[in-house]
Structure 1
């Protein structure tokens, strides 16, 4: 038993040690982290492979690895339709967003808002991003610590500081190059752990045909629920519309994504990286969903939560791994390494990005003098340490939250206020069990006779609003809006209020054509030449083009 435990910790220790060594190499051997471009963009000489792996790894956290299998097991496989929708997301990002941000070559993506609007909007958006990231990282840390705790019995508050210290260390001293290459290494651990779990799952459940049959009978493989009701938890429309908007945000305009695209030396490489990244992310989602299908096949006759073997559905994947891999020394440790790797990748990427955002959007603005490159590098490293410590301290707050997977200036403020109100109200109602989601049927007919049944749901005092939700009569209906539509609602409110204010209070402003996506830029140019130019006049001058921008926009 002690030998097995040693093997589990060895796999985990190996991953952590290699991450530290990469940080040491880029911090002390290849000492090129003394400028802003070196620390944040790797000198803009990064290659496609590590950037692609870094992007995938930084977007695949323990929330994904533990949350998606649980989502599929409890609510069905409708969520996996995002794998198909991914193709449309690639097209949108390539033709709308990437040309603009790569051409501008911004260190902070929020500088775009200052160029397009003004510095006030830039600072407010930067502040919101920094706060949201500080609130998100503790979730990323807590999830793998929870899995580690279930397998090793080590306390969550013992594990999280260790994970975070390692992450803060190599992120601080190594900059983007250390982050990118540790992401690539950690994605290897994550991929191997997922592959082993899937192979063992196939062996345990008896093959693909049995999985499909069991999940069809258990009503888990409903992929095209076409009901347009926005209050359903999962349907084709809540996933394809709501989740697509969220994904476009995270993949096209997220500071971490833009930072990595700009770190590549050519637009062609950035485009290739984007395609590989989004396809890879879709594959990860589908594979984690496949694990959820395997888990249901394995436990369709003995639900671990109802049988009392685990506390709640958050623990389904660690329980499954221990069940199918515990007899093979080192495999559960490799699985934990994969989960922790995903967390480290996400945390390090976010810390590196937020340090640049805070430095560029706040520190530089507040300083009344020019900051040297070496001083700037030191300031960003200090920011990484401070933000990292705050995130560790907030882990205790995350323990109180439920659910792994959820969760112009006037337009922005209105959007933030309304969505914050809905999210806060919904979370309070869910915590107090005034909103409860209906889960797919589970069984304990195959469990041992001596188990104690744990009833996981009690709908007393609630009414059934639709197929997916039971709700208290006192809860406003808007609180039951599908969580995938939070992004949809926020976008619509922001656009509506922003456009209304712009129409009521019109202003004259010059726009650099580079701030417009090529299709809009070309439309403006075509309209200009069609109505104001004659063939013999030649191409418009810069002044004439700027005038068109004022007229049309």
Structure 2
């Protein structure tokens, strides 16, 4: 790439200030005290619905989307906007499925549900392992994303970006617990919003106005909303992005990070409102990112120089930081503010992930050992804090390993998310949707779906057909970039007065490979594929090994509409005492039986009536 844009002192000051504020929030909540497990992992179940709603949103909207979606729009067009319709629909569905199912159970780890529903610690542990794998992969990509981009366009070493984000996120999460995670997410969301608006406003101004950007997007073939090809190999279609995106994202409602936040809200009404607030936030976020991508294309089109085609960036994921770093360079400190946007996106995902992993380890893996030794609640909290540090360091290491992944950031992350999340979603649906399935069905369905889905994902990375890109922006002005103008890497800006046309906007290659291969399946369908395999295998195995009598199942452990369809009468949740009898570490009234079952009997009836 051509000359790298260096950061100034003011940029480092701004970046350091933003990171210091995030760290300070963690210190604040550490001083206020997080000495109990319930306070550290769940905020004593008394957190506000608005702050939790923002945290839910920001956790899954990381630096991956901030860099990847604009680059995807620049390269492939606006079809990806349909993805956010699918994501919004997951929250609508969740209001009638996951929320009334999981919230009344008052659980700390979402995988406790699988153990209760299938009366099996093995099923619970399998779900825990798959969920933790999904979280680790997503965290690694989120942590790597800003590092790769900034290494190329700002000369910031890859290791420095990863270590800074990893260490800061690990420290404030470890000492502050869920409260620090939620409130830093709120702060970081404001930074992210400011960065996106800055990119859109300045970019449109430099490109010649909204009319110019819209005209260029239309002429350049970027405005695409009509791809309805039923072929599942086509990268982006309405069906793949809405239906496939729904299945890919629906599993997040059964993830540890999401359920941990919902469980931290004190009332069912607050939990419902948190879900509803995420619907407009997701739609607006998708629109802003799409507009950012169109602005990006409009700017370079009018400039007459495509940075990727000119060799100024090595991959299209670097287009956004390349654009922002040079556009903002005349304004001291503003470049540092944009870097803070990327770092905030990565921090929100990292902090939520490692906090959830610590909760899973304590509740699902270490719990039997801790209870046998009658470990005090204070010691358990200390163990959770240490685990946050361990998982933070592990995420830093995995971020380097993720460097070998190829393709757009959004595609890599959603492919990994769907490949692991699909089988997990299938296990939850087996339990909540089909009351007569058994533990063998859940185990076999989850394992087989995971193996097949991971094989599909890996072979697609190695041998999959690469989707054709749209015609790039013109490059006639790139030759004039031998000397920097106005201190930037861009050629002389022409205010849209250049006279140029794009002769052909249609990509020369076919949308799909000439022959059908399963590894050419669009990444949008990975979650759906894994879910279907898990459900089909689970149902088949349950039929062969013996259906469970639905009358023996607690109705609280299936979706509300399934209770009505199967005429299952509501009653307090009960759990086999032989499987779940244990000494509570809460020190309250649940001293003899497993705290989940005890807490459920105490709370589920009143909460269920409010739902």
1:86 and 1:406, CA in 2 relative to 1: closer, same or farther beyond 3 A? closer
**Partner residue, 1:358:** 361
Distance in structure 1 (CA, Å) of the matches to 2:570 and 2:198: 61
Q: Root-mean-square deviation (CA), in Å? A: 2.4
**Partner residue, 1:513:** 555
User: What is the deviation of 1:502?
Assistant: 1.1
Q: What secondary structure sits across from 1:227 in the alignment?
A: coil
Work out whether 1:498 is the aligned partner of 2:519.
no
Q: What secondary structure sits across from 1:468 in the alignment?
A: coil
Work out whether 1:143 is the aligned partner of 2:186.
no
Contact 2:310–2:478 (Cα < 8 Å) also in 1: no
1:24 and 1:411, CA in 2 relative to 1: closer, same or farther beyond 3 A? same
Once the two structures are superposed, residues 257-284 of structure 1 have per-residue CA deviations (whole angstroms, 9 ceiling, x without a partner) of 1110110000100010111123212321
Distance in structure 2 (CA, Å) of the matches to 1:12 and 1:264: 32
Number of aligned positions between the proteins:
511
**Partner residue, 1:177:** 179
Which of 349, 358, 382 is matched with 1:378 structurally? 382
Distance in structure 2 (CA, Å) of the matches to 1:245 and 1:325: 39
Work out whether 1:424 is the aligned partner of 2:428.
no
Return 5+ residue gaps in structure 2 as ranges: 413-441, 483-506, 576-611
1:4 and 1:243, CA in 2 relative to 1: closer, same or farther beyond 3 A? closer
Q: What secondary structure sits across from 1:439 in the alignment?
A: coil
Q: What secondary structure sits across from 1:449 in the alignment?
A: helix
Instruction: Note the 1:22-61 alignment, pairs <5 A.
Output: 22-28=25-31, 30-31=32-33, 33-61=34-62
Which of 361, 372, 393 is matched with 2:397 structurally? 393
Distance in structure 1 (CA, Å) of the matches to 2:513 and 2:526: 19
Work out whether 1:256 is the aligned partner of 2:257.
yes
1:541 and 1:495, CA in 2 relative to 1: closer, same or farther beyond 3 A? closer
Q: What secondary structure sits across from 2:466 in the alignment?
A: strand
Which of 565, 577, 581 is matched with 1:523 structurally? 565
Distance in structure 2 (CA, Å) of the matches to 1:141 and 1:88: 27
Return 5+ residue gaps in structure 1 as ranges: 453-463, 529-539, 547-553
Contact 2:146–2:343 (Cα < 8 Å) also in 1: yes
Contact 2:468–2:509 (Cα < 8 Å) also in 1: no
Contact 2:46–2:265 (Cα < 8 Å) also in 1: yes
Distance in structure 1 (CA, Å) of the matches to 2:481 and 2:466: 26
Contact 1:83–1:283 (Cα < 8 Å) also in 2: no
Contact 1:307–1:451 (Cα < 8 Å) also in 2: no
Q: What secondary structure sits across from 1:265 in the alignment?
A: coil
User: What is the deviation of 1:135?
Assistant: 2.6
Instruction: Note the 1:433-452 alignment, pairs <5 A.
Output: 435-449=465-479
TM-score by length of 2: 0.80
Distance in structure 1 (CA, Å) of the matches to 2:254 and 2:401: 28
TM-score by length of 1: 0.88
Distance in structure 2 (CA, Å) of the matches to 1:82 and 1:501: 33
Distance in structure 1 (CA, Å) of the matches to 2:269 and 2:81: 30
Distance in structure 1 (CA, Å) of the matches to 2:570 and 2:195: 58
Distance in structure 2 (CA, Å) of the matches to 1:504 and 1:447: 68
User: What is the deviation of 1:49?
Assistant: 2.0
Instruction: Note the 1:320-359 alignment, pairs <5 A.
Output: 320-359=323-362
Deviates more, 1:310-319 or 1:212-221: 212-221
